[in-house]
Amino acid sequence: MSCLKCWGIALRTWFIGHEAMDREPYVDATVLIYDSKLHLRKQTRSILNIIGFWNIEECETLDEVQHALSGHHADLAVLAVEHRHDGVAGMVNEVRRFRCGSDPFLPIILTSWDARLRVVRSIINSDADDFLVNPFSTADLGERVDALVRNRKPFVVTEEYFGPDRRTAQARAGDPGTVDVPNALRARAERRPELGPNSHMIEAAMGKLRRVKVRNVARRIWAIADILYKAFEDPSLPDWIDRELLQILKSGRTFHEAIASSQTAELGSLCDSVIQVANKIRDERPTQKNLELLEQSALALRVAAQLGGDGSVAASEISSVVSGVGGKADDVVKSVVG
């Protein structure tokens, strides 16, 4: 069977099952393509044309990508990765953190000819929505685009990551730590502008994700403190305690950056307490009492972050959580509710 015939069969197969969707859902959508190689850009452009995209802007350098995103709105970006340190992952990171372009939730698909495990892993761990290994077919890209419209993954944010939650739908079910974000591509495909990334929707989604980040960072701080407290009698503790304390200090700085100004008084002071104890342990020989204080302070921070830093929360609510892991709760509760 000829390659041309195989390609035709694959294309017809992709269109089967998509009859419910408008035959030209992407005619008004704008796509940004980046690839340093002209013939590969043209190849990707041709596939996008077949799928139904006609408003396509090609970029040869990342500077052109940055300029294009800053200059106008895009509904989808397809960016080629040549190697781990070519700057594409950093560009995606800049978009997600709202330091480049007007839409931090821009649907992004990365492609690469390099299928080595470390490259693929770094791409998967990036903030992009999806990934394709070259050579990919029209059906391959079409399925990815369709998934972004019909079943885009909600976003999650941690200390190092801002992007789609790559867990299965079953694992995500009922998890309050994920956020559905504005979807420019879906808004175009379904002709529903209210789903698009207007300023109000972006601000609302970023606010929700900031709260998720605050909770996740607080949980990480407590998890490290809990490990240190339980490892007091471990003879190897001196070999790795400084590394973990430094991580607590780093996470503490991230926590301060993530909290809103309205939360600074409650959550900021709790975080400062954790940082103060961590620094004290670094300066002196760790004692069981200080490690317990670190764990209890970190737990208070975690509970307060989970409750939104609301000083009006009843002491009994916090006390019940703290006492569930043992330790003296009274002082911790007072530090949370004032």
Q: Is the pLDDT of residue 183 over 60?
A: yes
Taking Cα atoms as reference points, which of 95, 80, 110, 112 lies closest to residue 155?
A: 95
pLDDT band at residue 6 under the 50/70/90 scheme: very low
Share of the chain above pLDDT 70, in %: 83
pLDDT tens-digit series, residues 262-274: 766 788 889 999 9
pLDDT category, 109, cuts 50, 70, 90? Answer: very high
Per the confidence metrics, is the pTM higher than 0.95?
no
Are 152 and 13 members of one domain? yes
Domain stop point among 179, 196, 213: 196
* Rounded Cα gap, residues 94 and 106, in angstroms: 11
Q: Which domain holds residue 42?
A: 3-196
**274, 174: one domain:** no
| 3-state SS record for 271-294 | HHHHHHHHHHHHHCCCCHHHHHHH
The verdict on 27 and 173 lying in the same domain is yes
pLDDT over 70 at 77, yes or no: yes
Does 297 share its domain with 261? yes
User: What is the C-alpha separation between 96 and 91, in angstroms, rounded?
Assistant: 9
Q: Of 172, 196, 220, which marks where a domain is finished?
A: 196
Number of domains in the chain: 2
Read off the pLDDT of residues 204-252 as tens digits, 9 standing for 90 and up: 999 999 999 999 999 999 999 999 999 999 999 999 999 999 999 999 9
Distance between CA atoms of 242 and 285, rounded to whole angstroms? 11
Q: pLDDT by residue (tens digit) across 33-65?
A: 999 999 999 999 999 999 999 999 999 999 999
